A and B are shown apart, each in its own frame.
Chain A
Amino acid sequence: MHVVVFTRSTPDTAAKVEVGANGAVTWGDAATVVNPWDEYALEEAILQAKNAGGKATVIAIGPEFHNEALKHSLAMGLDEAARVWDSALEGSDSLGYATAAAAAVRKLADVDLVIFGKESVDVGTDQHIYQTARKLGWTTLSYVSKILAVDYAAKTIKVERLLEQGKQIVTSRLPAVISVMKDINEPRYPSFIGIRKASKAVIPEWSLADLGVAAPAPQSQVVQFQNLPVRNVQVEMIAGTPEEQAAKLVDRLLEEKVL
Chain B
Amino acid sequence: MSAVYVWIETFNGKALNSSWEALGAGKTIAAAAGVPLTAIVFGENAAAIAAESGAHGADKAIVSEDATFNGFRLEPYAALLSKLVSDNKPKAVLAIGTARGRELLSASAADTDSSLITEATSLEVQADGAIKVTRPVYAGKIISEAVGSSAGTQFLTLRGRAFKPNPENAAAKAEVTTVPPVLAEADIATKIESFEEEVGTVNLTDAAIIVSGGRAMANNPKDAPAGAADATVWKAQDGFDNTLKPLADVLGAAVGASRAAVDAGYIPYAHQVGQTGKVVSPDLYIACGISGAIQHQAGMRTSKVIVAINKDAEAPIFKLARYGLVGDLYQIVPALTAELKKRLGK
Contact = CB atoms under 8 A, between A and B. Distances in A.
A224 B145 CA distance: 5
Interface in A159-175: 162-173
A235 B276 contact: no
Nearest to B336: A246
A29 interface: no
Nearest to B118: A125
A228 to B, nearest CB: 6
Contacts of A129: 106
Interface in B157-194: 189-194
Contact of A242 (B109, B205, B209, B327): B327
A240 B11 CA distance: 46
The residue in B192, B208, B325 that gathers the most chain A C-beta atoms within 10 A of its C-beta is: B325
The residue among A183, A227, A249 with the most chain B CB atoms within 10 A of its own CB is A249
A195 interface: no
Given A165-B197, A166-B195, A169-B194, A220 B275 contact: no
Interface residues of B, number: 97
Given A170-B192, A219-B115, A226-B145, A242 B318 contact: no
A199 interface: no
A219 B149 contact: yes
B103 A221 contact: no
A246 B322 contact: no
A164 B118 contact: no
Nearest to A171: B191
A233 B143 contact: no
Contact of A220 (B134, B147, B196, B272): B147
Size category of the binding interface on chain A: 35 or more
A10 B284 CA distance: 31
A134 B107 contact: yes
Contacts of B128: none
B111 interface: yes
Contacts of B295: 13-14
Interface in B105-139: 105-107, 109-111, 113-119, 132, 134-139
A125 B114 CA distance: 16
Interface stretch (B28-36, B85-93, B220-228, B300-308): B300-308
A1 interface: no
A12 B293 CA distance: 13
A170 B75 CA distance: 13
B149 to A, nearest CB: 5
B137 A37 contact: no
A125 B140 CA distance: 11
Interface in A112-127: 121-127
Interface string A124-148: 1111011101110001111100000
B305 A124 contact: no
B331 interface: yes
Secondary structure of the B side of the interface?
A: mixed
A234 B111 CA distance: 49
A225 B138 CA distance: 11
B189 A139 contact: yes
Interface in B263-290: 268-270, 272, 275-277, 283-284
Given A125-B119, A168-B195, A216-B113, A235 B318 contact: yes
A162 B1 CA distance: 37
B132 to A, nearest CB: 7
Contact of A17 (B107, B118, B142): B142
A131 B145 contact: no
Given A131-B109, A166-B195, A259-B344, A246 B142 contact: no
Contacts, number: 257
B340 A258 contact: no
B142 A228 contact: yes
A250 B338 CA distance: 11
B99 interface: yes
A42 interface: no
A171 B143 contact: no
Interface stretch (A43-51, A92-100, A205-213): A92-100
Nearest to B100: A163
B110 A258 contact: no
Contacts of A259: 209, 251, 284, 340, 344
Contacts of A143: 99
B48 interface: no
A25 interface: yes
B139 A127 contact: no
Contact of A127 (B102, B294, B313): B102
With a 10 A CB-CB cut-off, give which of B110, B307, B308, B318 has the most chain A CB atoms.
Answer: B110
Interface of B: 11, 71, 74-75, 78, 98-100, 102-103, 105-107, 109-111, 113-119, 132, 134-149, 152, 154, 189-198, 203, 205, 208-209, 251, 268-270, 272, 275-277, 283-284, 293-295, 301, 304-308, 313, 318-328, 331-332, 334-336, 338-340, 343-344
Given A130-B106, A139-B74, A168-B196, 6 more contacts: A93-B116, A219-B116, A226-B142, A228-B301, A233-B321, A250-B343
